[in-house]
C-alpha cells in the first residue's frame, strides 16, 4: 500500500473533524493530492469515528479507482475539479459544520469581517450556486466560487476548505467555522 503517511494523515484529520462536530454520521470528505495524477480520498458511507487507513481510496484525476476496496466519496468530482483548477492545492476538507451550514442554508457569503480572514482565507468567502450533491455542476460551481481563496460555501450543503497540506486545510476549516459563527452573531446583533 503506497502513501501510508498520507493515508494516516487523512484518518487523523477525519477523526478530528468528527470530534469537533464539523461532520456527523457519514457526512463530509477529505483528500490529499499525492502527485500530479493521483489523490487519496475518504470512502463513501464510512463514519470517521471508525475509519482506518485501509478504507482510504487512491483515485486518478478521472475518478478511476487505482487502489482500494471501498467506493470513493460521492463528492470525488468536487475534489478532482478543485485539484485540476488549483495546482497550489494539496489537500481538501469538505464539512457540514453548523455555522457554515447556516450560511449555506441561507445562501449568504461570508464578507470580510476580521483581518485574519483576509490574511489567511484571502478575503470574502463566496457561496457557490446550488447544485445537487455529487454532481458535475456542484464541482463546477464550487471551483468558480472558490477562485483563488482558501474556502467556499456550498449553497444548501456545507463548506470546503483547501490548503498546501491537510494540516493547513484543517486550520482553514476551523477558522471558517469560527468566522461563520461570528458573522451569524453579528447579524443577530444588527437585528436588535
Query: What amino acid positions are annotated as catalytic residues?
Result: 75
Burial letters for 102-131: b for 16+ Cβ neighbours within 10 Å, e otherwise?
Answer: bbbeeebebeeeeeebeebbbbebbbbeeb
In the block, which residue shows the cell 484529520? 13
C-alpha cell at 167: 494540516
Q: CA 73, CA 42: separation in Å to the nearest integer?
A: 6
**Structure-block grid coordinates of residue 178:** 469560527
Q: Which three cell numbers stand for residue 142?
A: 464550487
Among 152, 126, 173, 180, smallest CA distance to 30 is for 173
Per DSSP, the three-state class of 68 is coil
**What pairing do the DSSP bridges indicate for beta strands 151-154 and 127-128?**
parallel
Amino acid at each position: 500500500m503506497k502513501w501510508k503517511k498520507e493515508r494516516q494523515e487523512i484518518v487523523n484529520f477525519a477523526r478530528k473533524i468528527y470530534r469537533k462536530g464539523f461532520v456527523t454520521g457519514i457526512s463530509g470528505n477529505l483528500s490529499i493530492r499525492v502527485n500530479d495524477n493521483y489523490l487519496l480520498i475518504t470512502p463513501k458511507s464510512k463514519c470517521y469515528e471508525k475509519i482506518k487507513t485501509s478504507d482510504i481510496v487512491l483515485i486518478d484525476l478521472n475518478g478511476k479507482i487505482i487502489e482500494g476496496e471501498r467506493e470513493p466519496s460521492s463528492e470525488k468530482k468536487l475534489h478532482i475539479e478543485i485539484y485540476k483548477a488549483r495546482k497550489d492545492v494539496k489537500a481538501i476538507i469538505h464539512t457540514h459544520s453548523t455555522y457554515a451550514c447556516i450560511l449555506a442554508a441561507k445562501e449568504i457569503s461570508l464578507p470580510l469581517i476580521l483581518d485574519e480572514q483576509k490574511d489567511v482565507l484571502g478575503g470574502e468567502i463566496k457561496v457557490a450556486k446550488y447544485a445537487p450533491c455529487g454532481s458535475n455542476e456542484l464541482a463546477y460551481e464550487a471551483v468558480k466560487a472558490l477562485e483563488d481563496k482558501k474556502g467556499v460555501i456550498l449553497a444548501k450543503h456545507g463548506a470546503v476548505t483547501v490548503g498546501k497540506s491537510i494540516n493547513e486545510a484543517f486550520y482553514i476549516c476551523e477558522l471558517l467555522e469560527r468566522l461563520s459563527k461570528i458573522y451569524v452573531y453579528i447579524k443577530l446583533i444588527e437585528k436588535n
